[in-house]
Amino acid sequence: IAGIYGDTRISERHRHRYEVNTRYRERLEKAGMLFAGMSPDGLLPETIEYPDHPWFIGVQYHPELKSRPFEPHPLFASFIAAAVEQSRLV
């Protein structure tokens, strides 16, 4: 995710109603899930990745709120680029 944003610190818009249950963190990490970004207080996962997948990213925020018709959010642009790359492999 840092590679997509070009930075290790990001600011995004939230509208929380759900959150990751951190009681499962150890189990998820053992299965290969990477908790890539945490809330400023370090308690809640904000972003997750599954490195063994071509593009598996989950976020707690709403990237669509910062997207514009001719300026897509970096996550959307990255997802489309990954989809195009995968289509070449088929």
DSSP 8: S
Cβ neighbour number for residue 82 with a 10 Å cutoff: 15
pLDDT at 90: 82
Average pLDDT over residues 15-38: 91
Euclidean distance between CA atoms 20 and 56, whole angstroms: 16
Largest CA distance in the chain: 43
Confidence of residue 20 (pLDDT cuts 50, 70, 90): confident
Instruction: Quote the mean pLDDT of the chain.
Output: 93
